């Protein structure tokens, strides 16, 4: 199995266009912090094509970093389908960039995600007017073979609220994580870019993986308030913070089996600074800070 991290930042990317925090300024100056595009992953098994997990607004340049295994014709799609962990704008806006496809785009996700992307933010409806959409519903807890590939995927709930554009609607929706297994070459990868709770189901899946890519959005629960940006906490926004008691880093440090890395890192998170004490704490916990272009083969 091969994993290619296309984007490692949270919504807005890094640096964020309207932010002058210390982290964003360091990234602009290319001093002690590397710029990052918005969260997305490509994965493929020993047999079969690449699949995309989440379609960020930065998708065009991200896909340029992938090379299809076989080139057949002038218009060759680099991915065979898109799996969505949620219906957030920064994970779905890139679907519209696929409208030039010569065949319907295969999209996988929770039933609530489909409802959101047809009513509150009708990305699927728009895409259908161009190239077409082949929607595939993923049932939580059920392993699903990905056609044409040696991969199977299992989705599982990780909590969180529906996107803000659904305020006032009757759509009930949280985020999901994905467990990928390769029947040809072996290997188990769990990808959770949004994590609102660390329950036994989540921890068991992480602990039995070979590679765990986990939500690292915020370091502090009150990170945005400390910077005067917003009164909303990390947990209010559906993210367990990395630091503190019952934080994600403490739990990840206890896991012995998987290789562990944090993804979906907000521009305000001090772990983005390579010489920060927070980055050092992540290293000492046996966890990596993922970056755009990171490739891992299992």
Classify domain 2-297 by CATH architecture.
Answer: 4-Layer Sandwich (3.60)
- In three-state secondary structure terms, 177 is strand
- Residue 239: burial class (beta carbons within 10 Å; 0-12, 13-18, 19+): buried
Instruction: Give the residue carrying structure tokens 């990905």.
Output: 146
If one counts every other C-beta atom within 10 angstroms of the C-beta of residue 75, the result is 9
Short-list 16, 33, 87, 93, CA closest to 58: 93
- Is residue 219 a contact partner of residue 241, using CB atoms and an 8 Å limit? yes
Which pLDDT belongs to residue 168? 86
pLDDT per residue over 200-209, tens digit each?
A: 999 999 999 9
Which pLDDT belongs to residue 70? 59
Which DSSP helix (H) or strand (E) runs through 201? helix 200-207
Indicate if the pLDDT at residue 111 is higher than 60.
yes
**Which are the contacts of 283, defined by CB distance < 8 A and separation ≥ 6?**
none
Weakest-pLDDT range from 35-44, 52-61, 166-175: 166-175
Which pLDDT belongs to residue 286? 98
Which pLDDT belongs to residue 69? 57
Q: In the predicted model, what is the mean pLDDT of residues 90-111?
A: 96
Which pLDDT belongs to residue 75? 76
Indicate if the pLDDT at residue 71 is higher than 70.
no
Q: In the predicted model, what is the mean pLDDT of residues 91-113?
A: 96
Which DSSP helix (H) or strand (E) runs through 157? strand 151-159
More confident residue, 226 or 72: 226
More confident residue, 226 or 71: 226
Short-list 101, 94, 99, CA closest to 80: 101
pLDDT per residue over 210-234, tens digit each?
A: 999 999 999 999 999 999 999 999 9
Short-list 74, 76, 69, 118, CA closest to 95: 118
Which pLDDT belongs to residue 171? 84
Q: Where are the domains of the chain?
A: 2-297
The DSSP code sequence of 230-293 is -S--TTTTT---SSSTT-HHHHHHH--SSEEEEESB-TT-GGGSTTSHHHHHHHHTT-EE--TT
Question: Please, what is the average pLDDT of the chain?
Answer: 95
pLDDT per residue over 118-165, tens digit each?
A: 999 999 999 999 999 999 999 999 999 999 999 999 999 999 988 999
Instruction: Give the residue carrying structure tokens 């390579």.
Output: 274
Indicate if the pLDDT at residue 40 is higher than 90.
yes
| Dist CA 181 CA 189 (whole Å) | 7
* 5 confidence band (pLDDT: 50, 70, 90): very high
Which pLDDT belongs to residue 37? 98
Short-list 59, 38, 1, CA closest to 267: 38
- Using alpha carbons only, give the angle 242, 245, 247 rounded to the nearest 5 degrees: 25
Look up residue 197 and give its DSSP letter.
Answer: -
Instruction: Give the residue carrying structure tokens 């993923």.
Output: 138
Cis amide prior to 98 (ω within 30 degrees): no
Whole-number percent of the chain with pLDDT over 90: 91
Short-list 133, 91, 76, 85, CA closest to 112: 85
| Dist CA 122 CA 92 (whole Å) | 10
Indicate if the pLDDT at residue 51 is higher than 80.
yes
The sign one gets for the Cα dihedral 127, 193, 263, 272 is: positive
């Amino acid at each position: 199995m091969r994993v290619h991290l296309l984007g490692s930042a949270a919504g807005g990317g890094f640096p964020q266009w309207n932010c002058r925090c210390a982290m964003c300024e360091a990234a602009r100056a290319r001093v002690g912090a590397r710029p990052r595009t918005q969260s997305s992953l490509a994965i493929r098994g020993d047999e079969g094509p690449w699949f995309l997990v989440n379609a960020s607004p930065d998708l065009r340049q991200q896909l340029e970093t992938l090379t299809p295994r076989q080139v057949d014709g002038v218009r060759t799609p680099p991915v065979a389908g898109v799996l969505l962990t949620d219906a957030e704008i920064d994970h779905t806006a890139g679907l519209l960039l696929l409208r030039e496809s010569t065949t319907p785009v295969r999209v996988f996700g929770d039933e609530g995600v489909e409802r959101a992307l047809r009513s509150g933010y009708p990305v699927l409806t728009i895409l259908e007017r161009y190239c077409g959409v082949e929607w595939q519903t993923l049932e939580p807890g059920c392993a699903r073979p990905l056609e044409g590939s040696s991969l199977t995927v299992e989705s599982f709930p990780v909590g969180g609220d529906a996107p803000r554009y659904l305020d006032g609607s009757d759509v009930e929706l949280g985020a999901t994580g994905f467990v990928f297994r390769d029947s040809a070459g072996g290997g188990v990868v769990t990808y959770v870019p949004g994590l609102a709770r660390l329950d036994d189901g989540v921890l068991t899946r992480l602990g039995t993986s070979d590679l765990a890519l986990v939500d690292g959005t915020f370091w502090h629960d009150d990170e945005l308030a400390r910077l005067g940006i917003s009164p909303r906490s990390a947990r209010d926004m559906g993210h367990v913070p990395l630091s503190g008691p019952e934080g994600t880093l403490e739990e990840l440090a206890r896991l012995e089996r998987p290789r562990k890395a944090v993804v979906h890192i907000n521009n305000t998170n001090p772990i983005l600074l390579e010489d920060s004490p927070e980055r050092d704490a992540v290293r000492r916990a046996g966890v990596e800070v993922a970056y755009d272009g990171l490739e891992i083969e299992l």
